[in-house]
Structures are given as structure tokens and as C-alpha cells.
Amino acid sequence: MPRELCVGNGNLLVNFDSDYNMRDIYFPMVGMENHLSGHYARFGVWVDGKFSWINDSWKKRLTYREDSIVTDVSLEKPELQIEMLVEDGVHHFYNIFLRKIIVKNTSERLREIRLFFSHDLHLYETDKGITAYYAPDLDAIIHFKKDRYFLISGSSEKESLFQYAVGVTEFGGLDGTWKDAEDGQLSGNPVAHGSVDSVISLKALIPGKTERVFYYWFAAGKSLETVSKLHRTIKENSFQNLLQETDQYHKTWVNKSEINFGDLPSEIVKMFKRSLLILRTQIDNGGGIIASGDSDILRFNKDTYSYVWPRDGAFVVMGLDAAGYHHITQRFFKFCEKIMTNKGFLFQKYNSDGSWGSTWHPWVNSKKEFQLPIQEDETALVVYSLWNHYQQAKDIEFIAPLHETLVCKAADFMAKYRDEATKLPLPSYDLWEEQRGISTFTSSAVYAGLKAAAKFAKLFGDQRSKKYETAAEEIKEAIIHYLYDETTGRFLKKLRPNGKGGFSKDKTVDSSVYGIFEFGVLPPDDPKVEKTMQSIQSHLKIRTKVGGIARYQNDYYHQVSKDIKNIPGNPWIICTLWLAEWHISKGELDKGLELMKWVVNHASESGILAEQIHPHNHKPLSVSPLTWSHSTFVLTVIEYLNKLNELKLCKKCGLPLYSRNRKRLW
């Protein structure tokens, strides 16, 4: 189930699904150690002898407060005569999850209403060796294993916890202590160990047609002392103040850049800001940018998207740099410096602590010959995005230490890792991580990476500038010569080794070929680019009421239809926006705006963008949110404003109407 709400601070990330179940709790790093691991932290209500979990047919509206990562949730159960307004947030500084619940008794009479919160925590992503206990001195439940501690508590106005229980779950046929809540009473069992869960309850007497406020929180830390101190912080400071501080911080953060949106439709501006906020939740404070914190993909292959792909991260930092968030992006580049191999390439993906992530790329080919298990565009795009960062921030003191350790390492590798005959990059896995070959996208990215490296070298008076420039130009010539197909009149998806020392042409129409103009190999109005993009627009258009653009012809990933003529694949957010970028780059702003509106219309109610969309029912497929989707939206909006800046001048003063945003690299 896709994630509908994400709240976090770069250390603690909490995600909710569309039923408002708490589904992911990452700590102490974003993307690492999901302490729910596919399980639920439930929220329930008892009144008049009846009990209901929130995921059980409640009417829900799951959104955020404007310009904030504090939620704005409404819950209604007419048969219980209860309405609730809920605000969730993770404090921007303290590792505390905060929830404020306003409960309205819509009946005419006084009633006792109880709220229940269950916690099936899998600390260190395991159900073994965990202890949960009630701490009377804190009036809180503690879950701990080794150096992972969660303190859970709450209050109803001036009242503290009403009841609590801890017990065994997922062992010996036991469902868990959460079942104990369904009669409205908790056992008060004070301690359990092994595979455990816990429940707490709060209560209030609420007169008819009135409301009461409840507060619930948990603190995360590496010691009992840490979480106890955080608990005291809540007690000593007003809970409402902590939540308000968090809300105000987000509002200040997302509006810090001086971007003049001009006459852009309000829904586009709102989506732009929401994208920035969602991106921030998926970024670890140590610099790692995960692809998605949505863990439900575990059901398909026992692995997730909660890794740092250098490619995805590069696109995210380009979006953030364009919007003026340079300090965040600098952490990513330092992260990449740390993970760069001695040979100058980056692997497929990494954990947020910089360790090597899981991979399905082999080190040998079908002939058992050695091959690098890489996607070379990931190495190239980090260098490319670093030059983009320098163009925006002009912070040469930050760049200087990275010149040798990151830029030149990668550039030396890219200049060398080429076919001697064609001068193209040697085969690697494509950006879709499916096939090995020499793709147009990767070759274009390597060209851009080497061009960026040449500019850095020139900046520092490094004689290798000529070497990198020459390699880039050789690759450009080779792309035009070998990867453009005269018979189809468009650029190829890739060349694939045929096992006989040569290559076969993969003529599949693939949206990623947009890289030919995005990375500056050719201008967007070049006839070869025109024909290529027109082919993408024609062959990859989804011919259903949903619309959008597919990745490539007959895309198998999460495929829902074999009607390839009308549904070549599921529509992807990034691929649709790539087409928008092409139209915008040519000055066709109306067409670009139409595609941006399509993206907005296919976001969730809360403004979250998935990886792909179901071609018949508009529902999100695969993971949601996808950071790449949000960053591409940010970049497309900036491209739109930049082009508008070029085309539209103030009638009174003759100056551009819009502030400078992202610069093209060349």
C-alpha cells in the first residue's frame, strides 16, 4: 500500500499508508533500520462499549498543513458519532514524534471516549530479544534492544496514561497485545521480552457536542537516558509549542528561496513546495538520499527502495540546488566522496551509512568473464550535478577538496572506461537496471560528466582539462555516429554486445533517450532530437483516460496490460516530465504546463508522487513517494520559469520578470 503521509527530520522518519496506519519508523538514519518492518502501529477508539481501529471503514482525509510536514488529518465514524482532527509531526530538532488529536463528541450526551495506540516494534528489524516494560517513574512504555530505545506516552489534557499492557506477539499462536484493546480494557501487564508489542490508552469524559484534546508521542534514542530526557522536554515545554515550532520551521524552510512563480497556476506552485518538503523527509542528515521510504515493496522481493542510488540522488540535488538548498546538497556530495571507489566508479546503490547496498548485477558475463557490476551514468551524474551545484552556490572552498577525491577520480575512470574502436563508454547496466549495453542515456550522461570535469579542471588550472574535454567530444561524435539510427530516424535505446565482438541495435522506443538534449549532446531543436522526442511522444503515450508517458515499449515492470499498442507500459511521473522538459526547452510552454498539470492531477490527496500510475484507475503503483518523481517536478518547474524568463520581459523596465533559478550547464 503506497505511503500517503511522511513526517521526519533527517534522523527519524515515520510513514503512514492510505488507511492511516503507521507503517514505517526509520531511526537513527533515514532508510536504515525500519523498526516496524512491514508491521503496523495501530490507532483505535472505544466508546459506548464499541471498539474500532482507524483502518476499519473510517472516513478519512489525509493531507498536510499548508507549506508544512505537519499533517492535517480528519477522521469520521458516523455510527460512533465521533469526529477527529489529527496533526502529526516529527520535531525538526528533537527525535520525537508528536500527535495532537482533537476528538469531537457529535452526540447529544456525555460520553467516555478512549483512544488506543499499539506498537509492534521490530527493533533492529527483528522480533527477537526485545524488551518492553512500563516505567512508572516516567508513566511511559519503553521498548529497547541493545542501543535502540523507544519511549511511548501520552495525555488527555491534564490526565496521563489511562491503561497500558505489554505482551508477546507473533509467537505461540498469539496475535499480540493489540487484541487486548478491542474490549476497551488493558491488562496492565508491566513487562515482556522476546517478540513483544505494547498498547497504551488515554481517556476523557466529553460532553455532547463538545471536544477534547489528546496528545500522544514517542521519543527515539540510543539510551534510556536520551529518551527520558526527550520525554522531560515534552513535559517541561508545552506539547503544542513543540508542534507549532515544527510547523513554523517547515514554513520558513520551504519559503526561504526567492523564487518568483509569476503567473504559474497555484496548484503547480503548491506541488513544487510539497515536493521540496517530501524530498527533505527522505534525506538523511548524513547526506544519503534514499529513493523511497515505502517498505511495502518488501512483499514482492524481500528488498526495498530505501537505498541511496547515486543517480537518483544526483537528480534530487539538482532540484534542491535549483531551489537554493545548497547546504543539504553539499552533504550528499561529501557522502559520494566517501563511497567513491579507488578506481573512480560508484556501485549501484548504498545504505545511508555509506555501506554497499544489495545488488543484482553480476561480476561475470554469460561467458564467465569479469565485468564491472555498475551503471556508469550514476558515476557521471554525480560529477555533472556537482558542477550544477557550483554554478548555483559558487562555493569554491567547498568544491576544492572534492576536485581530486571525487571529480578527477571519476573523470579519469570515465575517460578510460571506453571502447578503443568506437570511443563510446564500455557496456554497463542501463538506468533502468535491467540490461547491459551502451545506452544513449548513459553515453550522454558520461559526456556531461566529462564536460563538467573539464570545467572543474580549468577552474583549478588543472592540465587534465584538455584530456577530459577531448574524451567528452569523442563520446559526443560517437553517440551521433553509432547511436543514431538512420532507418528509424531516432536515437537508439542502446547497442548490445552480440558475443561476436560487435553490437546489435536495440530499437525499442525508450523515454530515457531524452538525455541526448538534457545533457547537452545536441540542442532540443536539432532535427535528430526532434524526431526522437516525437517518436517518444507518439509511441509511449498511454491511450487511456489516464494518459501520461511510459518508460519504454512493452515495459514489464508492474505491467498490468498486454495491450501494448494503447498501453506500452504504465505511465511514469519522471518520463512524462521529461517530455514536458523538452517542450519547455523549445519554448512550447503551454504543452509543458499541460504535462505538469497531469502530474499534479495524479498526485495523492496529500501531494505525494508515486513512481508510476495504473493506466486504468489512476492509482499509484510500485513505491510512493519516489524522490526522483518529486525532484523531476521541481526541476521542470525551474526550467519552465527559466524559459519564461527568456521569453517574457517587463513592459515597464525591460528586465526579466522572473528571478534567476537553475542555470543550464552549457
> Mind listing the pLDDT tens digit for each residue in 324-353?
999 999 999 999 999 999 999 999 999 999
- Pick from 130, 9, 157, 3: which is nearest to 69 by CA? 9
* HSE-up (13 A, CA, CB side) for residue 492: 23
Q: Which three cell numbers stand for residue 224?
A: 534510556
Which pTM does this prediction carry?
0.95
Strand 59-64 versus strand 130-135 pairing type: unpaired
Considering only the top CATH level, what class is 3-253?
mainly beta
Pairing of strands 210-221, 96-105: antiparallel
What value, to the nearest 5°, has the Cα angle with vertex 115 and ends 110 and 116?
Answer: 155
Note the pLDDT of residue 300: 55
Cell numbers 530505545 correspond to: 149
pLDDT at 497: 83
Count the alpha carbons within 13 Å of 535 in the hemisphere toward its beta carbon.
23
Which part of the chain is CATH 2.70.98.10?
3-253
Please identify every stretch of the chain with a pLDDT value under 50, giving residue numbers as ranges: 650-651, 658-660, 662-666
CA–CA gap between residue 469 and residue 496 (Å, rounded): 26
- CA-based angle 39:44:48, to the nearest 5? 155
Measured in degrees and rounded to the nearest 5, phi and psi for residue 159 equal: -90, 145
| pLDDT of the residue at 289 | 98
- The pLDDT value recorded for residue 666 is 42
Q: What is d(CA 385, CA 368) in angstroms, rounded to the nearest whole number?
A: 35
CA atoms of 512 and 492, how far apart (whole Å): 10
Which triple of cell numbers denotes residue 249?
A: 520551521
In which element (H, E) is residue 28 found? strand 22-29
Displacement of CA 492 from its chain's centroid (Å): 30
Residue with grid cell 547496466, as numbered in its chain: 429
Instruction: Please determine, looking at this structure, whether the domain spanning 256-647 carries the CATH number 1.50.10.10.
Output: yes
Spatial separation of the C-alpha atoms in residues 1 and 3, rounded to whole Å: 7
The 8 Å CB, 24+ separation contacts for 62-65 are 62/4, 62/5, 62/16, 62/18, 62/20, 62/605, 62/606, 63/605, 63/606, 63/607, 64/5, 64/274, 64/277, 64/606, 64/607, 65/247
Cβ atoms within 10 Å of 597's Cβ, excluding its own = 15
Domain with CATH 1.50.10.10 in the chain: 256-647
